[in-house]
Amino acid sequence: MGDVPPTVRRSLAASPVRIVSARPSLRTRLINLFERRELLHSLITSDIRIKYKGSALGLFWSMLSPALTLATYYLVFSVFLKNGIPDFVVYLFAGLIVWNMFQSAVSTATGVIVDRAGLVKKVSFPREILALSNVGASVIYFVIQIAVLGVFLAIIGYAPAWGFLWLLPVSFAALYLLTASIAVVMSAVTVYLRDVRHLMDVVLQLWFWVSPVVYSYENSIAPALRARGLTALYFINPMTPIILTLQRIFYVHTTVRSTTTGLTLHILPTWSLATFALVNGALLVFAGLLFLVALVIFGRLEGNFESEL
Instruction: Give the pLDDT of residue 262.
Output: 77
SS3 255: strand
Q: Please state, as a whole number, how many other Cβ atoms lie within 10 Å of the Cβ of residue 118.
A: 13
H/E run at residue 264: strand 264-266
Query: Taking the CB of residue 306, how many other CB atoms lie within 10 A of it?
Result: 12
CB-CB contact of 303 with 22 (8 Å): yes
Each as own residue / partner, the long-range contacts of residues 303-306 (CB below 8 Å, 24 or more positions apart, any chain) are: 303/22, 303/23, 304/192, 305/113, 305/120, 305/121, 305/127, 305/188, 305/191, 306/120, 306/121
59-68, 111-120, 271-280: which range is least confident on average?
59-68
Percent above pLDDT 70 for the chain: 86
pLDDT (mean) for 69-81: 73
- CA–CA dist 265, 272 (Å, integer): 19
> What pLDDT is recorded for position 292?
95
CA-to-CA distance for 218 and 255, rounded, in angstroms?
9
Residue 53: per-residue pLDDT: 67
202-223 pLDDT tens trace: 999 999 988 988 888 887 777 7
pTM here is 0.86
Q: Are 240 and 166 in contact (CB under 8 A)?
A: no
Which pLDDT score, from 0 to 100, does residue 103 have? 92
* pLDDT tens digits for range 1-43: 445 565 555 555 554 444 334 577 888 888 888 888 898 888 8
